[in-house]
Chains A and B, each alone.
Chain A
Amino acid sequence: MKKQASDIGARAGVDRRSVLKGMGGLGLAAAGAGIFGMPKGASAAESLNYMCWEGYNAPSILDPFQKQKDVSISVDLITDSAGGFAKLAAGASKDFDLVSSDSPWIARMGPAGICRYIDDKDFAEQYAEFYPQFRAPFTPLQFEGKATGLPTRWGWVGPTVNTKFDKLETWSSYAPVFDAAYKDKICLLDWGDWPIMPLALYAGVDPYVSLDQAALDEVRKVLRAAFKNTRAIVADLAIAQKGLIDGSFRALIGGGTYATSSLRMKGHDYIQSIVPEPKNGLKQGIIWMEATGLIANGRDSKVAADFLKYIVSPEVAKQLSITEATCNLVPNAKAEALFSDAEKKALQMDYMWTAWDNSHFHTVAPNIDDMLAIWQEELAAR
């Protein structure tokens, strides 16, 4: 559910490349149709329609596969995971072959009939290259023993801190979010449920289990207290990053490595995302993951399955890891050898398993709608 409106330009749901190609091949009218579900390349033997987050659509990733398989790939960019799910659930699934989105939503697509389950045996070679934590049977993507898609990118959600202004130890807990000394210095990232979950964990509530009214009241209290100290609730990554660099925001909450790595890659290695220490036995970090699934559109395209293998292969995973907009970890262990030391440092690879050990895995919380309603109510009352 992250990255809402993080790139307003992407709201149009069409990238420059697809427009230019479409216009060249089929004319302006065909380009308009190509935005949603229409094959755009007249010359390719086959076509794939791909719904994905920004980064998966990089020409350096898509072009080699298109050439190798003589396939044309049309892309529809997601701006919100839940919105992408709703679009597919509303009937658009018949127009798509592949989807790359947040793992909780991919996991839901199998049981919902939007994605077809994969046979782990068919992807044994790919799983063998993954870090042990991501190998089959990979529980977060499983439903009744069947897997929906493969993991593609991951990271963690914790405080993102500018160490020029604050020591990392200060953020070994979310306590500064509520500290008067940090009033108007905190930025919450308006990325759906992402900022809610860490604050709930700080309040001693595990948001990933079914919650009673008392627990929801605790979530309300902690959000109310956080809003009092918060300067801004920002959806745009660039604004949040700018504030963090110039010190007007001392910490970003609800973004984690997704908000950090691209800055570190550009040399701002004093910006770090960490995971707070467990509090009263409750882990305070969150592991987020993106996955890619095969859509159940009745065509059972082999090329789509080939693309799934391709997107998790070491070389492609490395490219998927470092994109223009964001930089993230990938589950492919073999890909690690392809990163330079600077890239590993930017991705905080030396810290990734510490973060993993102190985190919950992000799934769709049973009471997420209640918590989002509380978020709305407390913002309105602010």
Chain B
Amino acid sequence: MRTDSKRWGDPVLVATVAPLGIVMLLFFIIPLVMTVVLSFQTTQFYRLSWTWDLKIWTEVFSKPHYWTIMARTVAMALVCVVVCVLIAFPAAYALATRLRAYNAQIQILIIFAFLTDAVLKTFGWILVLDKSGVANWLLAHLGLGPEALNLLFTPTGTIIGMVYGLVVYPMFTIYLSLARIDRDLVLAAYDSGASRLRAFFEVTLPLARPGLYCGAVLVFVLSLGAFLEPKVLGGGTAPLASELIRQSFETRVNWPLGAALTLVLIVIGALSLALAAAVLMRGNRGRAVQ
């Protein structure tokens, strides 16, 4: 197969790439550079002071509580990824294989739920999870006693809200992967004597991996920025990184500190993704050798 190598001077290539390049420059690169610059300044009497020093970064690296919150954020994001994938995979599998007749209707319903305002959904969970809420009302009627569940204002409440908001991402990415699997490959596995379980683990699951990984990455990245759920459903007692950043910018009016913490979170996210990519590539290479 012949491939044409394009030069960067090619006007068609420039015209094609330019719009995205400009958007990225204006809304990603320049704000990122400004954030970096801001992190080397200080504040005095709630006003920015252009000092160019390492005071803020010294504070970030010397105060353990910032890192406790960052670690908690990563841990919550990982839990959210696991729970989302565990829920999304069976649902996507059913959608791709068992519910084909209702596929479009179910997808529309999921999209409607997805497009509902996040604030509304999060506050809606209060009515469900509250001590006197719908969940406890149901459990009480099932004979489990009053206030059997105490999930509101707990980290579990936060996870429930995060999973509810994000599960749709892996559901669709996994579904797309599953829908593209050639049915003949699965049938060939059966013909070769594989059980349903073995065919699933040796054919379906490996072929669904791209969607699974893609969904997991989306959930992880979005979980790092979770703001409403820990504040509303978590009751603010176990704050995550986004609340720390908000508090630095808004309540403390310490914009350099907020900028530095934002950069820390971005680096943590980027490193986590790089690590995950390295592990996956190593796994893929290992399988290729086999």
Which of chain A's residues has its CB closest to B70's CB? A380
CA of A376 to CA of B72, assembled, Å = 14
Chain A residues contacting B130 (CB-CB under 8 Å) are 246, 248
From residue 245 to 261 of chain B, which have CB atoms closer than 8 A to chain A?
Answer: 247, 249-255
Asked if A85 contacts B251 (CB within 8 A), the reply is no
Chain B residues contacting A382 (CB-CB under 8 Å) are 237-238
Asked if A232 contacts B252 (CB within 8 A), the reply is no
The reply to whether the CB of B47 lies closer than 8 angstroms to some CB of chain A is yes
Asked if B250 contacts A90 (CB within 8 A), the reply is no
Asked if A236 contacts B252 (CB within 8 A), the reply is no
CB < 8 Å neighbour of B251 from A192, A232, A246: A192
A366 to chain B, nearest CB (A): 11
Asked if B126 contacts A239 (CB within 8 A), the reply is yes
Binds B, one of A1-9, A201-209, A285-293, A352-360: A1-9
Asked if A232 contacts B250 (CB within 8 A), the reply is no
Chain B residues contacting A86 (CB-CB under 8 Å) are 46-47, 253, 255
Size category of the binding interface on chain B = 20 to 34
CA of A192 to CA of B250, assembled, Å = 9
Residue with the highest number of chain B CB atoms closer than 10 Å, among A190, A231, A376: A376
Chain A residues contacting B65 (CB-CB under 8 Å) are 376-377, 380-381
CA of A83 to CA of B249, assembled, Å = 8
Chain A residues contacting B228 (CB-CB under 8 Å) are 8
Asked if B231 contacts A376 (CB within 8 A), the reply is no
Asked if B237 contacts A233 (CB within 8 A), the reply is yes
CA of A231 to CA of B47, assembled, Å = 35
CA of A4 to CA of B63, assembled, Å = 25
Asked if A232 contacts B237 (CB within 8 A), the reply is yes
Asked if B68 contacts A190 (CB within 8 A), the reply is no
Chain A residues contacting B231 (CB-CB under 8 Å) are 5, 190, 235
Asked if B255 contacts A380 (CB within 8 A), the reply is no
Which residues of B are at the interface with A, using a C-beta cutoff of 8 A?
Answer: 45-48, 63, 65-66, 68-69, 72, 119, 123, 126, 130-132, 153, 228, 231-232, 235-239, 244, 247, 249-255
* Top 9 A-B residue pairs of the complex, sorted by shortest distance between their CB atoms: A232-B235, A233-B236, A380-B65, A232-B153, A377-B65, A380-B68, A86-B253, A83-B250, A82-B253
